[in-house]
Amino acid sequence: MKPVRILSFFLTAVFLMSATDSLCAERTMIIEKNYLNIPISQSLPAKALSLRAEGLDPLTVQVRISSEKEDYWVFKDLTRYAGKTLVLTYDGPQEALDRVFQADTICGRSALYREKNRPQYHFTTRRGWINDPNGLVWHDGEYHLFYQHNPYGREWGNMHWGHAVSKDLLHWEEFDDALFPDSLGTMFSGSAVVDRKNSSGFGDRRHPPMVFAYTAAGRRATQCIAYSLDHGRTLVKYEGNPVIDSYERWNSGDTRDPRLLWYAPGKHWVMVLYERDGNSIYTSDNLKDWTWRSHVRGFYECPDLFELPVDGNPENTLWVMLGASGTYMTGTFDGFTFTPTGGKYLYTSGSLYAAQTFSNLPDGRCVQIGWGTMDQGELTPFNCLMLLPTELTLRSTRDGARIASVPVREVKNLFERRYTADGTLNGEEATAAMKGFSGQDGLHIHAILELSYSTSAGLSLNGQNIIDYDTNHNRLCGQLFFAQDPTSLSLEADVYIDRTSVEVFVDGGLFSYSLRRDDGKTEGDLRFWGPGITVRDLQVDTISGIWNK
């Protein structure tokens, strides 16, 4: 290297070091309160914030800490840090880090769940971004909803597993995050089971452990496990992680989202894992050592696999393999290989993604929750929502057995009947009956729409078409839809309206869709429209909110 070059290299290095030095802010505090409140400005670039305390794994996340007027506040639960000395370093200005403070409540507590765009009966997190539901499991009277969570911003990133618990699938209490990024990566999607026989050895038979499988998304994606002996309140990562590293097999980093299930006839565990172009099956006796068995192409991300009786007949069952977007195949499964026996179908469309079914439900139902990929509006301190929990069944149709998905019966507990039509109404009468309901936060509408032409007709909410049925193009609100009875012009619909979302279930749940409510149109009406439309069985219920404000 020439001397001039050496000098310029040296000067650049000194400049970079001093630039970084001047940007690297640091603070030390003894933790005496419950939360660390952090002001966020969405327009700033995200920078690394590190938290270090003795005896706890270090945590580094990317955060947009604001030195001046923040857009909103996020927080870190400090319960695990109580009494410890916490060292914070931030790869941004000291003035920004100086605004971070400890308190016994989170900033914005008084307005929590009352915020302008807060969905009233759909799960959302207190702060931050959510995507896929993870680790849905019932255990000892509690439904657990873990989920992809960025606690530090309203956009995707810093993936943790958030955690909420419910006794009725409707009212959720949110706990501290359950899985934090570590040296293997951030915490991508996965699932949970109750290991009743303690085959993993993590607990004992009297206190069966909950076992979780997740993807650590680091330099390469690997599959890891964790367990909990305190009903999901604390997850302990297995020291032998990762348990699967299949990069070489696929020559691809696209291996993720392990779905665990118990295969009773073979008395072994199954993991369905999304790998590059489809879903693989792995098996294990102890949830730690896994053997690859087979692969089905044609799926992307977040697999699910379960057995369902056709028309409720336990003698006639089919296995269903699901992909992330609501597409599925039915077929057979012998514990090692899933064999599709038909085509590929779709039961839902719109904003649903990465849905998962619960493990270990006590009543044998197959209950699913999907991620509603809807932005909640500019600068809300929370983003996206979980769609209503639905019960999945398999129904015989003239095209074969198909999934039907309807909201779980518990949702009716939130209903209050406000209107029941007397007989059949024409469009104007039905619209008049809806007067006063369009401003409601939570509304359920049941109606059978009778079209008299095969052209567009439906229902609009404050000017937005939430049902737009066109039997000429076979489209329902823009989605391809083929009704069970191809010559019928009637559509039986159950519509669920919340502050920011609409979910619509038709044909007894054989098809459903979800969409975001248009912003800014709070004035208007609920209008049945279309040439010669009539409305039968019109019923309206208000749906009460789930948050204990």
Residue numbers of the site for ligand FRU (CB under 6 A)? 131-132, 148, 159, 188-189, 215, 256-257, 301-302, 324, 353-354
The least CB distance from residue 254 to ligand FRU, in Å, is: 9
Contact 203, 227 (CB under 8 A): yes
- Specify burial of residue 446 (Cβ count, 10 A radius: 0-12, 13-18, 19+): middle
Start-end of H helices in 181-284:
247-250
The least CB distance from residue 205 to ligand FRU, in Å, is: 32
Asked if 182 is an active-site residue, the reply is no
For ligand FRU, which is the closer residue by CB, 354 or 401? 354
For ligand FRU, which is the closer residue by CB, 269 or 353? 353
For ligand FRU, which is the closer residue by CB, 261 or 526? 261
For ligand FRU, which is the closer residue by CB, 189 or 393? 189
Tell me the β-bridge partners of 109. none
> Burial letters for 393-410: b for 16+ Cβ neighbours within 10 Å, e otherwise?
bbbeeeeebbbbbbbbeb
d(CA 157, CA 79): 23
Catalytic residue among 21, 77, 132, 285: 132
The least CB distance from residue 58 to ligand FRU, in Å, is: 22
- DSSP letter (8 states) at residue 95: H
The least CB distance from residue 257 to ligand FRU, in Å, is: 5
SS3 394: strand
CB atoms within 10 A of CB 55: 7
Which residue do the tokens 């369009």 mark?
438
For ligand FRU, which is the closer residue by CB, 373 or 454? 373
CA dihedral 289, 293, 297, 298 (to 10 degrees): -50
- DSSP letter (8 states) at residue 365: -
Contact 403, 391 (CB under 8 A): no
The least CB distance from residue 371 to ligand FRU, in Å, is: 7
Which residue do the tokens 């209107």 mark?
419
Q: How far is CA 396 from CA 149, 193, 246, 309, 347, in A?
A: 38, 30, 38, 10, 14
The least CB distance from residue 148 to ligand FRU, in Å, is: 4
For ligand FRU, which is the closer residue by CB, 73 or 274? 274
Question: Can you list the positions of beta strands (E) in 45-100?
Answer: 47-52, 59-63, 72-77, 85-90
The least CB distance from residue 150 to ligand FRU, in Å, is: 9
Residues 6+ positions from 117 with CB-CB distance below 8 Å: 376, 377, 380, 499, 500
CA dihedral 127, 128, 131, 136 (to 10 degrees): -40
Residue from 234, 222, 133, 131 nearest 182 by CA = 222
The least CB distance from residue 189 to ligand FRU, in Å, is: 3
For ligand FRU, which is the closer residue by CB, 214 or 262? 214
> Burial letters for 199-219: b for 16+ Cβ neighbours within 10 Å, e otherwise?
bbebbeeeebbbbbbbbbbee
For ligand FRU, which is the closer residue by CB, 188 or 469? 188
For ligand FRU, which is the closer residue by CB, 355 or 434? 355
The least CB distance from residue 289 to ligand FRU, in Å, is: 23
Which residue do the tokens 């606690």 mark?
151
The least CB distance from residue 356 to ligand FRU, in Å, is: 11
For ligand FRU, which is the closer residue by CB, 157 or 331? 157
Contact 237, 182 (CB under 8 A): yes
d(CA 100, CA 94): 10
Query: Phi/psi of residue 147, each to 5°?
Result: -160, 160
Contact 96, 66 (CB under 8 A): yes
Q: How far is CA 304 from CA 20, 84, 294, 356, 380, in A?
A: 46, 41, 15, 6, 31
Which residues are tagged catalytic? 132
